[in-house]
Structure 1
């Protein structure tokens, strides 16, 4: 868990302290850790966790971290650090041996019984559901917080069942809006737990393996993994794409499969060095925005966190 949290934090902020103690006297004076060292520590945390899982009692609960979810986190880590053979190996390990399969019915993908879920958070109430549903489901129009851009909705291929099942169109006399609809069970009216907050699911591993195969020049193998994802979305199979078109196809499948899940689009574009393409859709985008500003409150409490990230 510590490795995963620092993974997200350094992807968002760049250099951050790597916190290894609960001692507030030490933590209030921490310094930034170089990114290279952060990634080394993340890997070390994962390796220690793997050793402990192998020694301990086998846990198969999807609401607790276990060896399967750890291997998935390692696959994500090795993709992020561009260690493609290791990324492919860890994705393979889970796909081939974890006893999970792609959920073919997309309407069931985010139900707690989904065949694809690798790790999820259960609600704090036995009759509760996901926090995501509370955030994304629109109770009034126009939306108070969030909706999907029409340009994103229109980027799906014709017939893509992910658009049909995971996006809901709402309108009134003021306009039309698109609601993320992966989670369909709100907490407010919930009497039974049917959905949990999904953190890791199998489809991402097929995409990681496709990306790793692409980077290793195994282009047809990459196509095969994309086609497994596309088939369940009722899309035509890809065949003999050029290297350029295959790269774009991988990014498009990430985009359409993992939207509204843990900032994937931002991290994916960043990993592929394509963040500046956001200038096409976000006129205010600037290259320095690839890193978020360090929270001002934290800098005021601890001068060791200076300097602020460039541009802020």
Structure 2
């Protein structure tokens, strides 16, 4: 039995151990189907809260939203270049990711750790008897776990396609072996079921006096529903759920100027719907080290490529405090990303911003033929960035304008690759890594299942083409 596995058992066997991002790192090399002894871990309000914190810690881990998962969205798109020497990282840039790639193995395992921790909360908290665990608090804990599991399955589906759907706690080292992969559609459907379960359990927004941007709420559920329906091309539902947040002007606004949502050490602004909190000591966001240059204490492993630098430094994107502030220069030829800059590394990881909801609604409205309304949403985002209104006049022009806007609005957030993959536009923009005269094959719109998983479970089948 591996040392990493014993660490898991020890962690879950002690309810007094506080879950933290650093503790989460112990999970990253552990296969998602391995077991955790959990008979005594969730027995009262305190241990239930600790277990839920563990789910958030897994979400915040280096393998998930702190670096590795987000790097897939950066590196596989067309905004970022890799300045290091690891050939496995260059595979994302080249769109030739192999099944033995260490990043995809880490991401797969880290997301399943999140799912397993959520499964423990969902399974055990409803049966806990403790006067301190009121019905409202119990529902909230379980609702938050359902949301986090939904996000995890959504991220697995858009990265790998269909995956094994596991909704019960892992109890033995082999208890989840033999579960075949669901389809991508079935995996998205599981995420939606979890969101439907979460929504009524979480506090009604009408009765909540504060707006939590660091934990799941009904509004966070609506944000993920809007994004999920966009991926499913359910335009009417995507528009509806995006509208619920956009209409909440008291809590969500496109803050101006553009960099007001991240500059000056700000966190939890009205721009933010859901962001991951890091304190810079026990909870550290590894993004800063990847983006900042050595002169600022980083390694600059990722950097804006020439195309992105050209777009962000040319008018009108170079307006004061505009999108050009996402990047900075050491010299005329050396640029670096500056969204993650705080020292110590306490920058939030941004999962949902209100700007995304505007652009989701713009795309959904355009697809329904509501061109005027779509352009109004697009232009709201453009105006906040100091740009003039779009001149798009047809459906095709409007959709391309939204795509281009998303590329720059989220230039250093992990949307670009997933946007191009979900729309199929990646096959037009990228070439086949094995034949530079041919377009990127459709099978490369999802990544291979990690070889480490295929080797331990014969029920798992590789994605076609890999």
CA gap of 1:297–1:270, structure 2 versus 1, over 3 A, is: same
Question: 1:128, 1:187 within 8 Å by CA — same for their partners in 2?
Answer: no
Q: Look up the match of 1:169.
A: 329
Alignment-derived partner of residue 182 in structure 1: 339
SS in 2 for 1:26: coil
Residue 101 of structure 1: aligned partner: 253
Cα distance in 1 for residues equivalent to 2:169 and 2:178: 13
Q: Which residue of 2 aligns with 1:92?
A: 243
Which stretch shifts more, 196-205 or 125-134? 125-134
Instruction: Supply the distance in 1 between the matched residues of 2:217 and 2:267 (Cα, whole angstroms).
Output: 17
Report Cα offsets for 1:178-229 as digits up to 9, x if no partner: 21212221326xxxx5x42221111000000000111011111111111111
Q: How many residues align?
A: 302
User: Which of these residues, 116, 139, 147, is aligned with residue 271 of structure 2?
Assistant: 116
Find 2:168's aligned residue among 8, 16, 21. Answer: 21
Among residues 141, 145, 148, which one is paired with 2:301 in the alignment?
A: 145
Cα separation, partners in 2 of 1:128 and 1:53, compared to 1, 3 Å: closer
Moved more, 239-248 or 225-234: 239-248
Q: What is the CA deviation profile of residues 3-39 of structure 1, one whole-angstrom value per residue up to 9, with x for unaligned ones?
A: 1111111111112111212224332332101222222
Shift of 1:55: 6.7
1:43 and 2:198 correspond: no
Q: CA RMSD in A?
A: 2.7
- Which residue pairs with 2:99 in the alignment? none
**Residue 292 (structure 1) aligned with residue 447 (structure 2):** yes
The match for 1:4 is: 151
Distance 1:177 1:301 in 2: 44
Question: Could you say what secondary structure the match of 1:303 adopts?
Answer: coil
| C-alpha contact (below 8 Å) 1:131/1:197 kept by paired residues | no
Closer/same/farther in 2, CA of residues 224 and 146 from structure 1, 3 Å limit? same
Which position in structure 2 is the counterpart of 1:256?
408
Contact 1:3/1:45 (<8 A) preserved:
yes
Residues 214 and 274, structure 2, Cα contact 8 Å, conserved in 1: yes
After TM superposition, list the pairs within 5 Å mapping 1:111-260 onto structure 2: 111-125=266-280, 130-139=285-294, 145-156=301-312, 158-160=315-317, 161=319, 162-171=322-331, 176-187=333-344, 195-239=347-391, 241-260=393-412
Deviation digits for residues 280-304 of structure 1 (CA, Å, limit 9, x no counterpart):
6978673132111110001101111
Per-residue deviation, 1:247:
1.6
Q: Who wins on radius of gyration, i.e. which is larger?
A: 2
Gaps of 5+ in 2: 1-147
**Distance in 2 separating the partners of 1:65 and 1:54:** 10
Q: Check if 1:265 corresponds to 2:421.
A: no
Structure 2 CA distance, aligned partners of 1:227 and 1:129?
36
**C-alpha distance in 2, partners of 1:116/1:201?**
6
Shift of 1:60: 2.7
Taking structure 2 as the reference length, what is the TM-score of the superposition?
0.60
TM-score by length of structure 1 reads: 0.87
How many Å separate the matches in 2 of 1:238 and 1:311? Answer: 40
Unaligned ranges ≥5, structure 1? none
Instruction: Say if 1:129 and 1:227 are closer, same or farther in 2 by CA, change over 3 A.
Output: farther
